[in-house]
Structure 1
Amino acid sequence: MSESRESPLFMPAIFIGGLVFGLGLAISGMARPEVVLDFLQFDDFGLLFVMGGAAVVTGVTFFVATTGLNRAPLTGTEYTRRVKEFDRNVVLGGAIFGVGWGISGICPGAAYASVGIGNYPIFWAIAGMFLGAYIQGAVRTRLSEN
């Protein structure tokens, strides 16, 4: 593994990325659970265009960055591919995530942005996300010890 030469701009870039992400979610209306629930009920396909547009921009950015640069500008690390196997955990986790998304009407990124537009009851969903992740981590740790 190569040595990391993290730029002092790394953390500010992460903050600005989050700021832009939250702003985009708020402007597009995707930080509002009722909009997301309308999408999940096939009443409003705006989320599809927001996600599709974001995927295209991200894909182009990653393609340009990984072909034009040999190292990440802010961390100095090599660009590498992380290959994730399509296994039972991916399917199970995706199904559970989908149920949680459908019940709460919001996905994790949009939940945090939703706080920014004054949706304070969403803190219950955020607390549930943290608790669910904690439980999964505890179970995984216990199973790996056996």
Structure 2
Amino acid sequence: MKRIVVSGLIGALFGLGIAISGMANPAKVLNFFDVAGQWDPSLLLVMGGALATTAFGYRLVFASRSRPLLDARFHLPSNRQIDGRLIGGAALFGIGWGLSGFCPGAAIPAIGFGGVPVLVFIGAMMAGIALARSLDGLSRKQLKAF
């Protein structure tokens, strides 16, 4: 139960940060990509702040703890390989972000502001996740058959 409460609080804090920074507004994100027009560098500042906070947090936590407070171990990615799936996923993420102005981290808090574009994005994101899982399952089954 503690994990659920702490996870909810962390998610709420993240959503509050997204809302305060204006990143739930797709126009703000799209203006960042419009370097020849109404360029808005605030996304760069938000990303830089997030990167600095994360780097400091990781150093602090991993230097002082052998395991997290509410779990038996840290769950870190084990795959360090850059492959076609990673590059393709990153490219699709970037294209979707550039076209819609939403990324999953900003779209979920933006549901609270309402609006059809947010709901369309969330629906498309869920369909994309389901499709990717389906295709991944098919490719893994094919690999196992040989």
**TM surpasses 0.5:** yes
Choose the corresponding residue for 1:37, options 27, 30, 41. 30
Aligned 8 A contact 1:66 1:79 in 2: no
1:25 lines up with 2:18 in the alignment: yes
Choose the corresponding residue for 1:46, options 38, 42, 49. 42
Choose the corresponding residue for 2:89, options 87, 90, 93. 93
Cα RMSD (Å) of the superposition? 1.6
Cα deviation, residue 135, structure 1: 0.7
1:130 lines up with 2:126 in the alignment: yes
**Equivalent pairs: percent with the same residue?**
34
Question: After the TM superposition, which parts of structure 1 deviate over 6 Å for at least 4 consecutive aligned residues?
Answer: none
Using structure 2 for the length normalisation, give the TM-score: 0.88
Q: Which amino acid aligns with 2:3?
A: F
Worse-superposed segment, 133-142 or 112-121: 112-121
2:7 match: 14
Q: Which has the higher contact order (CA 8 A, sep 6+)?
A: 1
Using structure 1 for the length normalisation, give the TM-score: 0.88
Give 1:60-99 correspondences, 5 Å limit. 60-78=56-74, 82-99=78-95
Cα deviation, residue 144, structure 1: 1.6
Aligned 8 A contact 1:26 1:117 in 2: no
In structure 2, C-alpha distance between the alignment counterparts of 1:50 and 1:117, rounded to whole Å: 20
- 5+ residue gaps, structure 1, are 1-7
Aligned length: 139
In structure 2, C-alpha distance between the alignment counterparts of 1:125 and 1:79, rounded to whole Å: 29
